[in-house]
Amino acid sequence: MHTIGMRAVHQGSETAIFELRGGTHLILITKSEIVPGDAPFDLMVEDLRATHQRFASLGLAPSPIESMSSIDHEFFRVREPAGHLITFYSNHSSGNPV
């Protein structure tokens, strides 16, 4: 998660907590068995194309950017080390206070 730009709040032997924009946290918990597949979450980024380019330059092999017109977003996916596919979506934040 450091590689994709998340700020570590806590890193222990069984859990890790990463801070996202707006004070939301992603909590990762160690599991004894992992079945690779779609990650049970997705992420939105400010600049999808810049993020895609950065991930490619880091050797993360992001999928091509696709359009999802039904929700007016673009997205790409990256496979993380345990085998899960994390989907990254374009942002639609209004800029209004939460």
pLDDT in tens, 21-77: 767 888 889 988 988 999 988 988 889 999 999 999 999 999 999 998 888 889 999
In the DSSP assignment, the letter for residue 45 is E
CB 75 within 8 A of CB 88: yes
Question: Going by DSSP bridges, is the β-strand pair 73-79/25-29 parallel, antiparallel, or unpaired?
Answer: unpaired
Structural domain boundaries of the chain?
Answer: 1-30, 34-98
Rounded to two decimals, what is the model's pTM? Answer: 0.81
Among the four given CATH numbers 3.30.720.110, 3.40.710.10, 3.10.20.30, 3.10.450.350, the one describing domain 34-98: 3.30.720.110
The 3-state secondary structure of 51-79, one letter per residue: HHHHHHHCCCCCCCCEEEHHHCEEEEEEE
What average pLDDT score do residues 75-84 get? 92
